[in-house]
Amino acid sequence: MKSAVIVFPGSNCDRDLAVAIEQVTGRAPAMVWHRETELPDGTDFIALPGGFSYGDYLRSGAMAARSPIMRAVADAAGRGVPLLGVCNGFQVLTETGLLPGALMRNAGLNFVCRPVPLKVENSQSLFTSQYDAGEDIVIPVAHHDGNFQADAETLDRLEGEGRVAFRYLDEVNGSARGIAGILNDSGNVLGMMPHPERALEKAHGNTDGRRLFEGLLETVAA
């Protein structure tokens, strides 16, 4: 599997994500700087990392969403290349319009940084096929702007089409309907606030994030 991790000024989980991808797929991803205009040939998985791209100026993810590389990323996603956005990466995906809704300041206004229990709502997607439907897992979150909001019609559509991938089991940040991660309509773009790359090895405390990368590898390699 040929992966690419996009690096924005202010990204800080790009290395964690690269380590996770290399551990699971056996191949280090290309690290692609935001000023690039093309992805390496044959890229078959793209990841947008967590962090504070452009210092969260204007809105979290707003500036990164308009950076040169994002045109190539959107084109690739349009062709069906799997695209994962974690935390700030999720914010970038909503800002580009690749995913609906917006991620607003946490309802409690505090930065939330702890492992949180999640329910796997969709175990059929190319990211979640290694989980059981309705399974409870634990993945860490670390964010200030993770409060997912969309209008009722959009929320109903996400639920109805099975596009809610993960849901918080506890109150974390005020997200509408406890939504922690969503898929696009064709299922190849996943945005999620929890960090699967931080739950990959025993030393992390749990390995519930590992199966996301394993599922992806299996789908892409198939």
Partner 1 sequence: MKARVFVTLKPGVLDPQGKAIHHALEGLGFSGVEDVRAGKLIELSLADGTPDADIEEMCRKLLANTVIENFRIERLETAA
Looking at the annotation, which residues are catalytic? 87, 195, 197
Exactly one of 40, 78, 108, 205 binds partner 1 (CB under 8 A); that residue is 108
- Indicate the pairing of strand 112-120 with strand 164-168: antiparallel
Q: Dump strand ranges (E) for the chain.
A: 3-7, 30-33, 45-48, 83-86, 102-104, 112-120, 136-143, 147-149, 164-168, 179-183, 189-192
User: Per rule CB under 8 A, is residue 178 in the interface with partner 1?
Assistant: no
Per the structure block, which two tokens stand in for 162? Answer: 């099975």
User: Per rule CB under 8 A, is residue 105 in the interface with partner 1?
Assistant: yes
Per the structure block, which two tokens stand in for 2? Answer: 């040929």
Question: Residue 41 burial by CB count (10 A; 0-12/13-18/19+): exposed, middle or buried?
Answer: exposed
User: Per rule CB under 8 A, is residue 109 in the interface with partner 1?
Assistant: yes
User: Per rule CB under 8 A, is residue 53 in the interface with partner 1?
Assistant: no
By rule CB under 8 A, what count of residues binds partner 1?
Answer: 19
Exactly one of 95, 121, 197, 208 binds partner 1 (CB under 8 A); that residue is 95
Exactly one of 37, 38, 58, 171 binds partner 1 (CB under 8 A); that residue is 58
Give residues in contact with partner 1 (CB under 8 A).
58-59, 62, 66, 94-95, 100-102, 104-109, 147, 149-150, 174
